[in-house]
Structure 1
Amino acid sequence: FAAHGSPELGKMVIRRSDGTTLYQTKELALAKVKLRDHNVDRSLHVVGSEQSLYFRQVFKILELWGFEAAAKCRHISYELVQLAGGKMSSREGTVVPYHGFVAEAEAKALALAREHGISAAPEAVAHRVALAAIKYAFLRVDTNKTIIFAWDQALSFDGNAGPYLQYAYARSNKLLADFAQDVPRLESLDYSPEPAEAHLCRTLADFPDCAAQALSEHAPNLVANYLYDLARAFTDFYQVCPVLKAAGEVCFFRQSLVAAFNSVLSSGALLMGMELPQEM
C-alpha cells in the first residue's frame, strides 16, 4: 500500500508462503466475481466497525487491480450492543442468545398488552410489538454509536420506541374506521390550520427528503427518528384538534391529515421492516 500512496493501510497478506489462502483471499475472489460478472449496483458490507481497516485494504486492492466498480463497494460499519447493566460477556454469562432474546421480548410485550387493555388477539399483537421494539431500538441509533439496550425504553408505549409508533398507527386506523365515508378530496379550503395541524403537515412533507437522505447515507436511524417525530406530531394534533366532532370541511381536512399520517407511517415502517398492527 505504501508504494501506491496509502501507507496508512499497512500491510495485508493475501497468500501465505506455503501457498495456503486466508479469509481476505476469498473476500477478494468473491469481489472480483461480483464486480466482473454480475454488474452490481452497489456492494454493501454490513460488518462491525472493528473491521474498518480490513475493508479499506480490500477495496484499495480492488482499485489497484483496475476494477473501476470498486467504487461501488462500501463498508457499512456499526458499533456493538450493550445491555443497560454493562457489556455482554460469554465468560460472565451475560451473552444473550437471539431466540431467548425474542422470547423474553414477547413475554414482556404480552404483559404490557394486557396492562394496556389490548383485547384484539393479544398474543399476535405481542409478537409484533416485541419485534418492533427490538428492531426500532437497534435502528434508531446512529451506527457510529454503541447501542445501550434497555427493556423499559424499547417497549415504551409513550416514548421513542417501536410500540409508540404502532400505537399511534392503530389510533389513526380507529379514527379512519369511525368515519362513515371515504376520505374526500379537497380542492380548496377556506381555513387557517391550527398550529398542531400545520406542524403535522410540515412533518408529513419531510418524509421523501428524509428517506432519500437515509438511502444516500445508509443511515436507517434518520427514518426511525423521523417516524418518532411524526408520531409525536400526530399525537399532539389528536389531543388538541377534534376530528370526528369537527364541522364540515374542517372535519374533512382533519380526516385527510389522519389518512396522510397513516400512509406515511406505514411506508416508513415498511422501510424499517416493522409490522404495524391494525388495532391495539
Structure 2
Amino acid sequence: MNKKFQSIEHITKQSLSILYRLEPCPSLNFQYTKKEYIGDITLILFPLSEKLKKPVEKIGKDIGNYVNSQLGDMITFSIIGGFLNFIFKDSYYLHILKQMLNKNFYNLKLPSENIIVEYSSPNANKPLHLGHIRNSLIGHSISKILKIVGHKITKIQMINDRGIHICKSMIAWKKLGKGETPNSSKMKGDHFVGKYYNLFDKIYHKEIHDYSKKNKDYNDKNIPILKQARILLKKWESGHHETINIWKKMNKWVYEGFKETYKKLGINFDKIEYESHVYKFGKNIVKNGLKKGLFFKKKDGSIWVNLEKEGFDQKLLLRSDETSVYITQDIGTAVERFKKYCIDRLIYIVGKEQDYHFQVLFSILKRLGYIWVKKLSHLSYGMVDLSSGKMKSRMGNIIDADSLILEMYSIVKKIFFKNFSNMEKEKYSEVIGLGAIKYYFLQVDPRKRILFHPEKSIDFKGKTGTYIQYTYSRIRSLERNFLNLCSLTNKDWSNIKFDLYEKKMIKILQKYPLILKKSAMYLNPSLVANYVYEVSKNFNNLYQNKRLIDPLKIIHSNIRMNIIHVTGNILKSGMSLLGIKMLDRM
C-alpha cells in the first residue's frame, strides 16, 4: 500500500521515530473527532505524554507540524486539552480518493508466511451439519483474507475416515443393509451412510435397555452390537479384505455427498488428507515416547501420558488392543505435516468443545520435544443454534447442511422474484440464499456462539448479506445511468468542494486496508463483514440525501461516481472474502 495513503497514522509513527527516537513505536490511539469539535481524526496524546515525559501541548505541536510538512499543507490541526485534532482540507480528501482509485490500494505488502489452515474435517459416517457450515465458512474466509494480505495459504481438510464411529455405520449396514445403496434408495451418499449410523444408535440403546433388565452392573463392553463394531475395527486395522472393501465402498458414498454439499457452499480445499493414511504414524510416535519414559503403560496394556504438572489430567494415547484414539492420530498428523511442508503457521479451526483436546495435544507435542509446537494455534469457534425447531432434517434433530441450504432457497423464492422466470429464480435464490447464510454466520466473531434465524437473515433493510447485495446492485445501476446521462472526465478536480456526506464516505472507504490487516491478524472475518455493512449503510445515507447524478454539474457528478465506484469495488472485494457473490441487478 502506498505509504502516503497511510498518511496521518503512518506519518505520526514516523514523526515519533525521527523527533523523539521512540523505537519501537507504541500503539497509538486514533479515533474520529467528536462532533462538538472541529476535526476529522483525533490522536489522544496523554499516553505519549506519560511515556515521553513531555507536555501534551509540545508533543501535539511537534507531531502536527511534522505531519503537515509531509502532506504538503493538505491538513491543519488544533490541540484541545490532550487531544490532537487533524482537520482534512478538500485537497486531502481528493488525494485519498485518487489513492483509492489506484490498483495498489489493497496491496498491503505484509511479510509473507507459509500457513496451513485446516477446517471442516468431518467424520465419514454422516452428512455435514450446521456446525460444519460455520467451520467451513470461517476457514474458507480466513484463508482468503490471509491470502489477500500476502500470505501463502494451503487449505487442508482432514477427513476422519477410520475408527469406531466409522465401524458403527459399517456394522449396521452389514447386518441390515441387504445390499442397499444410495442409488437404489435414491438418497445422497452421506445421508445414506448417516441413516445406518443412526440405525446403529437405535440398536445400541435397545440392547443397553435389554441388558440392564437382566444385569445390575452395566458394562459397555458387553453390548453385542458395540462388541461387533470393535471386532470390525480390529479387522480393519489388520487389513481384512472384506472389511476394507466395505469401508472403501461406504466412504466413497460419503465423499460423493460431501463434494456436492461443498460445491453448493462454494467451499474448496488445496489438499484432502485422511486419518487412515496417518494413524499409524501416531502409534509409532507414542510407542517411541513410551520407550523414552515420556509416557507410561497400565496393567491392561494401554498407554497413557500424565499431564498433571501441566495442569491437565492423565490422557489415554493407545488402547489396550493397540487401536488409536483421536489424539494419537492428531500427534501423527502434526509431525508428518512439519516433515512434509515448510510451515510458518498451522491453524486448526475446530469447535470450542475441543479446547481441552488441543491444549493437551500441544502439551504432548512439547513434551516430545518438537520445537515447532509454538507455530500451532487453535481457532476455537462457538456453536450454532437455530431459533426454532421447525427445520427438522432427515437425520433427526441435527440440522444437516443440505436441508438448511434448501430451506434458505425456499424462503428466498417466497419473498422475492414472483415475476421472474424459473431459471432466474434458481440463479438469484442461490446467490441470495447462500449469501444470507454466509453473512449471518460470518458477521459474528468466530469465538462467540450464534443463534441462526433463517428469515431474519434475508432482509433488505437489516444487517444482512441481502442488504449489502442490494446496495451493490444499486451502485452498479447508478453507474449505468451515469454513463447514459453524463460523460467521464478527470479534469478540473483541483477546486472541488466535498460536503459532509462525501467526506464521511471517503473516510470510511479508506479504512479498508486496515480492516483487512486487522482481520488477518486476529483471524476474524467478522471485522470484514461488519465493515462492508458500515460501508453499505453510509452509502445509502449518501444516496438518500444527495443527488448523485446531475448532467448540469458534470465535474461533481464525476467525483461522486468515483466515490460510488470505489464503494462498489470495496463491497465486492469484501463480500468475496466472505465467499459471497454479488449481483449487478436485483
Q: Output the TM-score relative to the length of structure 2.
A: 0.44
Q: Is the 8 A contact 2:308 2:314 kept in 1?
A: no
| C-alpha contact (below 8 Å) 1:183/1:259 kept by paired residues | no
Kept after mapping to 2: 8 A contact 1:184/1:256: no
Q: CA deviation at 1:198?
A: 1.2
Query: CA separation in 2, counterparts of 1:134 and 1:80?
Result: 15
Match of 1:146 in 2: 449
Distance 1:112 1:122 in 2: 11
* CA-CA distance at 1:30 after TM superposition: 0.6
Q: Structure 2 counterpart of 1:257, which letter?
A: I
The answer as to whether partners of 1:47 and 1:75 remain within 8 angstroms in 2 is yes
Q: Which runs of 5+ in 1 are unaligned?
A: none
Structure 2 residue aligned with 1:95, among 398, 422, 441? 398
State whether residues 436 and 465 of structure 2, in contact with CA within 8 Å, keep that contact through their aligned partners in structure 1: yes
Change (3 A) 1:31 1:77: same
In 2, the alpha carbon distance for the partners of 1:46 and 1:249 equals 50
Amino acid aligned to 2:547: P
Structure 2 counterpart of 1:253: 559
Size of the alignment, in residue pairs? Answer: 278
Shift in Å, 1:184: 4.5
Aligned residue for 1:156, secondary structure, equals coil
CA–CA distance in structure 1, aligned partners of residues 488 and 386 of structure 2: 45
**Aligned position for 1:165:** 468
Q: Deviation of residue 43 (structure 1)? A: 1.5
The one-letter code of the counterpart of 2:496 is: Y
**Identity, % of aligned pairs?**
27
Taking a change above 3 Å as real, the CA distance of residues 256 and 10 of structure 1, as seen in their structure-2 partners, is same
Q: Which has the larger radius of gyration?
A: 2
Indicate how the Cα distance of structure 1 residues 118 and 200 shifts in structure 2: closer, same or farther if over 3 A, else same. farther
Distance change in 2, residues 1:48/1:239 (3 Å): same
CA-based RMSD: 2.7
Alpha-carbon distance in 1 for matches of 2:491, 2:415: 40
Q: Give 2:510's match in structure 1, choosing from 192, 205, 212.
A: 205
The answer on 1:227 being equivalent to 2:532 is yes
Structure 1 position 88, deviation (Å): 9.1
Residue 269 (structure 1) aligns with? 575
- What is residue 190 of structure 1 aligned with on the other side? 495
Q: Which amino acid aligns with 1:137?
A: Y
Indicate the SS of the match to 2:575. helix
Change (3 A) 1:182 1:224: farther
The counterpart of 2:478, out of the listed 152, 159, 175, is 175
Residue 183 of structure 1 and its aligned partner are, at CA, apart by 5.6
Q: 1:85 aligns with which of 388, 391, 400?
A: 388
In the alignment, residue 340 of structure 2 is paired with which amino acid? D
Residue 272 of structure 1 aligns to which amino acid in structure 2?
L
Tell me if the contact between 1:44 and 1:74 (Cα under 8 Å) persists in the aligned partners: yes
Query: Shift in Å at residue 10 of structure 1?
Result: 2.5
CA–CA distance in structure 1, aligned partners of residues 313 and 307 of structure 2: 11
What is the letter of the counterpart of residue 154 of structure 1? S
Task: Tell me how far 1:4 sits from its aligned partner.
Answer: 7.9
More strand by share: 2
On the 8 A contact 1:79/1:145 being kept in 2, the answer is: yes
How far the C-alpha of 1:86 sits from its partner, in A, is: 6.6
Higher mean C-alpha deviation, range 187-196 or range 22-31: 187-196
Residue by residue over 1:152-196, the C-alpha shift from the partner in whole angstroms, topping out at 9 and shown as x without a partner, is: 320011111110110001011111112227864468432332222
Kindly state the Cα deviation for residue 64 of structure 1 after the two structures are TM-superposed.
2.7
2:561 aligned partner, one-letter code:
Q
Counterpart for residue 135 of structure 1: 438
CA pair 224-34 structure 1, distance change in 2 beyond 3 A: same
Looking at structure 1, the residues matched to 380 and 473 of structure 2 have their Cα atoms a distance apart, in angstroms, of 34
1:73 corresponding residue in structure 2: 376
**Larger relative contact order (C-alpha < 8 A, sep ≥ 6)?**
1
Instruction: Give the alignment's TM-score, normalised by structure 1.
Output: 0.89
Structure 1 residue 10 corresponds to structure 2 residue 313: yes
Once residues 364 and 307 of structure 2 are traced to their aligned partners in structure 1, the CA distance between those partners, rounded to angstroms, is 10
